[in-house]
Structure 1
């Protein structure tokens, strides 16, 4: 990420690595057989970044953060995200459209990156969200033409964008560590 705050850089890298692991895992719900090695490799790389930068986050916890004084807003943003994802999934389940749950959660996550970028004072977080929203939007026609779970499309979109963002962030952070 492109922030002046080392702690935020390390944490975001760790978090994006962890979330890449999660999304690659969800993508394996109904993935084609030939995707599984790549999805597994993405998961392993995501966990590696999460562990390495989780340790670096802890080591730099005394450094300043863009969130200082903004923790209440950050908590509210996360609460709204979780509520929107959960409410949407509940509606989808009640309508018999649970195969769209991964796509919906991905849309909510990607959209939450836009206000999160303001809180973190890091435009690159918004760029990640916009790229994800566009890619998820492009996937809709293909998803409508099938009965497979949306995790097959949403998982790789989210996993790849988060893993690439974490890797770029790791490279940017390296000189300051």
Structure 2
């Protein structure tokens, strides 16, 4: 991403890699047959970035972070994200629309990247969120026309955008380590 904080940069790559693994995994709930290998490859790549940059985060833990003095706001943001995602999923389930849960969680995650970018002092995180929101908005009509789970489309959108962001960020970060 685009921050001056090496520790935050490494952590973001690791976290985006881990979350790419999660989203590609959720996409495997009901994928088209031709997507299965690619979803698996994305999962493996995501875990690779998570492990490699998790180690680099640990090695750089003593370096400054944009979150210094902002941990309470970070915690509040994450709590709000969890409550919004959970409440929305509960409402969807009660309305018999649980197939939309992956899409809803994806929208909540994408929206949370906007204030997170401010906390991390990293415009790249906001760009990821905006790209995700546009892509998720673009698949609503396709999802309405089916009865399958929204993870079929939301998972690859989120997984691919997070993995691409991790790759770009890793390429920016690695030479300076």
Instruction: Calculate the TM-score normalised by the size of structure 2.
Output: 1.00
SS at match of 2:47: helix
Residues in 2 aligned to 1:176 and 1:92: alpha-carbon distance in whole angstroms: 46
Q: SS where residue 64 of structure 2 aligns?
A: coil
- Structure 1 position 104 matched with structure 2 position 115: no
Identify the residue that residue 34 of structure 1 maps to in structure 2: 34
Task: Provide the rounded CA distance (Å) in 1 between the counterparts of 2:124 and 2:171.
Answer: 14
Q: Partner of 2:147 in structure 1? A: 147
Aligned match of 1:53: 53
Q: Does 1:66 align with 2:70?
A: no
> Which consecutive residues of structure 1, in runs of 5 or more, have no partner in the other structure?
none
What's 2:22 paired with? 22
Deviation at 1:175, TM superposition (A): 1.4
SS of equivalent to 2:139: helix
| Alpha-carbon RMSD | 0.3
Give how far 1:176 is off. Answer: 1.4
User: 2: distance between equivalents of 1:54 and 1:66?
Assistant: 18
Matched residues in 1 for 2:138 and 2:91: separation? Answer: 23
**Match for residue 78 of structure 2?**
78
Residues in 2 aligned to 1:76 and 1:93: alpha-carbon distance in whole angstroms? 25
**Structure 2 unaligned spans of 5+:** none
Aligned mates of 1:148, 1:114 — CA distance in 2: 29
Cα deviation for residue 153 of structure 1 reads 0.5
Provide the secondary structure at the position in 2 that maps to 1:105. Answer: helix
For 2:93, the equivalent position in structure 1 comes to 93
In structure 2, the residue matched to 1:130 is 130
Residue 19 of structure 1: CA displacement? 0.2
Q: TM-score, normalised by structure 1?
A: 1.00
Consecutive aligned runs of 4 or more in structure 1 exceeding 6 Å deviation: none
- Does residue 11 in structure 1 map to residue 11 in structure 2? yes
Structure 1: distance between partners of 2:96 and 2:65: 43
Deviations 1:22-68 (A, max 9, x none): 00000000001111000000000000000000000000000000000
